[in-house]
Structure 1
């Protein structure tokens, strides 16, 4: 037996069908209980409540001019017997012509049983229910004290018969059987349809996700008729885009790393062979070749360090050790690493000064990467200007080069991971092209604002803004 032939008890389709069908069964069961099983008791309680309501209404109207008309109206409309008695048990209303001659009264036992307790116990009303022996019928009697007029006390008696509803129950039972069969059929069919309609979009998404897992990154999660499904589809499409970018990034990283490792390794091997075969006995030429090998090894060291820094930044392991830092002194310290470039015509000029509170080691890395970027993109004019502009409560740190610049569309993308690596495989003089993403994360960690101003052919200015130091850090 295959998996497809087994009913999945955990599927949305099965659970929705079971819940919907169960709800329909519960509603039908409730109807059967109310209309068939408990109808007699329910009918009796409703009759008692209706009788008491009429009795209280009539009691409030005692003494009004239309009191007798009200009694007659309720008698006909509600099919009730309403009678008024005086304190001697005599019937006051309703009376026919013979009653004026015979003056009917209730028995003394009944008077003391029903009316006398109202006076004795200082009660205004009471309800009695009497069941007939060997019958399902009952009698409801509501009595109340109306008040006193012309020295006589008056009482109201409202009586109603509760007849058995067996014939009505039989009729309702036949109707409920038909209604139950139709309702269950409709409920089962409707629940099956709705459950399939609800589960279909999720099944389609599962198929699309399997295709994505098998390497088809061009898939698109389709939106359906439900808001929640559409939100899920948009989220999965976003995740697919991010996954595609990550894979492209991985390819670019492999290409860049391969290129940046291959070139210095080739140079190291070539110059090592030259020392072995050509310059081994020539000290001047040998020292020159050895220096080239050392520079290439330094380049590889810088590259590996940048990869390690990138790994630490992306894993969120960086912690800030805040201290008061002199930006000018820190910049001069960083420029010591660029002394070898001064021999090739580069000049580095520092303008201004300022102190801020930051993590000195991480800010050293930002300044180093900004200067490295300026060196990489300098052309004929090999001048790098570094500005520290003090304002009221902040310092703007800028690194300006006069090189190739960049288009407006690239200025937001350069902070992305490996963006330079994607577009430029040319070997750089210093650095690896991974620095700007590291700068972005470090500056975000500090809460500093940053950016770039650039124009094609007119160089670029990278900057960050940070609060000025206002007090010493203990």
Structure 2
């Protein structure tokens, strides 16, 4: 099997970035430990010497000065000497100090002290430092001088001599050690970056494979998360998307099936009655007119169905816009109920409106009329034996609430969330009005109220009736 490496893949880039980062760390370590060790050591030695000199200068004049200087000298491997400008020695290490060779300590640094004193006297500052080379031992010496007292003719000078040991051998040891450290570190970095990149990209690869199935129409595919919150959130979002696509696909299939059925029935009726007029009732005016009326009724039904479908499609696609204005909600409802007087007179329906004063709202008046008309039509179609429908309008602090209540069979709780879907009809609803609608009334209500950003819902109890309600902001 041929190994393929995708140079643009996340796995490869994470692996390379991690490895390059480790290599840079090793490179910095090599430079600091090998190339700059000697300079760093010398700078630290000078800094340490200056710090000790400041300590001695601060303690000059105290009774325990000599004791403290001896301790500092032995602890830090330094030769410390204090004398006046006329050669009077205030402090010098004892003759048993073996760090300066066979001769006494003062004699060993006599020439160096002379150099330091001459430079110090010529210098305007109170301190001076010199690196003194030693060709024989290849070990340089840091010579440091400072005035403890600069009174003319009574100057007190502090001398500090600190050996600068050669670090070449130490560098060689570090170099050989760093070779192993570098190899081990790089190997660990490559292995760790490979494991991390695999762990990170594996769930992404799985999600990509599932997305490919989703693109082919497999809406039941499950997206699995990984070890990270962001990937889990992505998987959850895609799972929700998959469910919504499956739901939309089912709704589309149901819509096509239902529309096909609803269109087929009136078209069949139109064709059948047209053939009857042609073959049977063409010469009989009474039958011909009856058959023609059926054709007209079915054509109206087709026109209503197509209009409702077109209206829903416009609202869902965002093409349909609202014409916002402020209007009297009470007058709007009264104008709607005027068209139902014939039902009250001829069929005994009782439409009761409860509102004691004018209430003004902001919205699209024609669309709100359509909402109320659809809800009232729905209530009239499914009301109980008493044929009573109640419309109530209540004003709250920030909004108004409109309710349409019937006394019909009610809707089971398990079906309440589905009644806003296209063509859905609750199983327990029994229509009193046999002239069925298009099955899109509540879907249109939902879309209009969503455009108004209104809250809406239904409360229903089986065998007691239903109350459809919505709330509009003032």
TM-score (norm 2): 0.85
Q: How does 1:39-438 map to 2 (within 5 A)?
A: 39-94=37-92, 96=94, 110-115=116-121, 117=123, 121=124, 123-130=125-132, 137-147=139-149, 152-334=154-336, 345=347, 347=349, 349-353=351-355, 354-357=358-361, 358-378=363-383, 380-390=385-395, 394-415=399-420, 417-418=421-422, 420=424, 429-438=435-444
Quote the RMSD (CA, aligned, Å). 3.5
Are the equivalent residues in 2 in contact too, given 1:303–1:432 (CA < 8 A)?
Answer: yes
- Partners in 2 of 1:146 and 1:205 — Cα distance? 77
| CA deviation after TM superposition for structure 1 residue 130, in Å | 4.5
Are the equivalent residues in 2 in contact too, given 1:208–1:220 (CA < 8 A)?
Answer: yes
Are the equivalent residues in 1 in contact too, given 2:116–2:143 (CA < 8 A)?
Answer: no
- Partners in 2 of 1:365 and 1:136 — Cα distance? 104
What per-residue deviation string (whole Å, max 9, x for no partner) do you get for residues 336-381 of structure 1? 7768877983736241454322211221221122123224434655
- In structure 2, the residue matched to 1:471 is none
What per-residue deviation string (whole Å, max 9, x for no partner) do you get for residues 47-101 of structure 1? 12222222222221222222112211111111112221223354321165899x9
- Partners in 1 of 2:295 and 2:385 — Cα distance? 27
What per-residue deviation string (whole Å, max 9, x for no partner) do you get for residues 191-238 of structure 1? 222222222222222222223333333322223322222222222211
Are the equivalent residues in 1 in contact too, given 2:351–2:390 (CA < 8 A)?
Answer: yes
What are the ranges of 5 or more consecutive residues in structure 1 without an aligned counterpart? 469-474
Are the equivalent residues in 2 in contact too, given 1:89–1:105 (CA < 8 A)?
Answer: no
| CA deviation after TM superposition for structure 1 residue 15, in Å | 1.0
- Partners in 2 of 1:466 and 1:273 — Cα distance? 51
Cα 1:126–1:301 shift into 2, 3 Å: farther
After superposing the two structures, state which structure 1 stretch, 301-310 or 317-326, moved more. Answer: 317-326
- Partners in 1 of 2:205 and 2:396 — Cα distance? 60
- In structure 1, the residue matched to 2:449 is 443
Are the equivalent residues in 2 in contact too, given 1:80–1:160 (CA < 8 A)?
Answer: yes
- Partners in 2 of 1:55 and 1:23 — Cα distance? 42
Cα 1:467–1:192 shift into 2, 3 Å: closer
- In structure 1, the residue matched to 2:468 is 462
Q: Residue 182 of structure 2: SS of its match in structure 1?
A: helix
| CA deviation after TM superposition for structure 1 residue 14, in Å | 1.0
- Partners in 2 of 1:256 and 1:422 — Cα distance? 16
| CA deviation after TM superposition for structure 1 residue 279, in Å | 2.8
- Partners in 2 of 1:232 and 1:394 — Cα distance? 38
Cα 1:384–1:286 shift into 2, 3 Å: farther
Q: Residue 431 of structure 1: SS of its match in structure 2?
A: coil
Are the equivalent residues in 2 in contact too, given 1:356–1:467 (CA < 8 A)?
Answer: no
- Partners in 2 of 1:139 and 1:189 — Cα distance? 48
Cα 1:332–1:264 shift into 2, 3 Å: farther
Cα 1:454–1:342 shift into 2, 3 Å: same
| CA deviation after TM superposition for structure 1 residue 247, in Å | 1.2
Cα 1:373–1:276 shift into 2, 3 Å: same
What per-residue deviation string (whole Å, max 9, x for no partner) do you get for residues 448-470 of structure 1? 332222111222121223356xx
What per-residue deviation string (whole Å, max 9, x for no partner) do you get for residues 309-342 of structure 1? 2222222344332223233443354457768877
- Partners in 2 of 1:78 and 1:184 — Cα distance? 38
After superposing the two structures, state which structure 1 stretch, 64-73 or 312-321, moved more. Answer: 312-321
Cα 1:253–1:137 shift into 2, 3 Å: farther
- Partners in 1 of 2:232 and 2:304 — Cα distance? 47
- Partners in 2 of 1:346 and 1:244 — Cα distance? 46
Which has the higher relative contact order, 1 or 2, with Cα contacts under 8 A spaced 6 or more apart? Answer: 1
How many residues align? The count is 460
Cα 1:467–1:31 shift into 2, 3 Å: closer
| CA deviation after TM superposition for structure 1 residue 392, in Å | 6.5
- Partners in 2 of 1:135 and 1:224 — Cα distance? 65
Are the equivalent residues in 1 in contact too, given 2:382–2:430 (CA < 8 A)?
Answer: no
- In structure 2, the residue matched to 1:37 is 35
Q: Residue 387 of structure 1: SS of its match in structure 2?
A: strand
Q: Residue 411 of structure 1: SS of its match in structure 2?
A: helix
- Partners in 1 of 2:216 and 2:426 — Cα distance? 26
| CA deviation after TM superposition for structure 1 residue 137, in Å | 4.5
- Partners in 1 of 2:81 and 2:248 — Cα distance? 92
- Partners in 2 of 1:430 and 1:336 — Cα distance? 22
- Partners in 2 of 1:282 and 1:135 — Cα distance? 139
- Partners in 2 of 1:272 and 1:446 — Cα distance? 44
TM-score (norm 1): 0.85
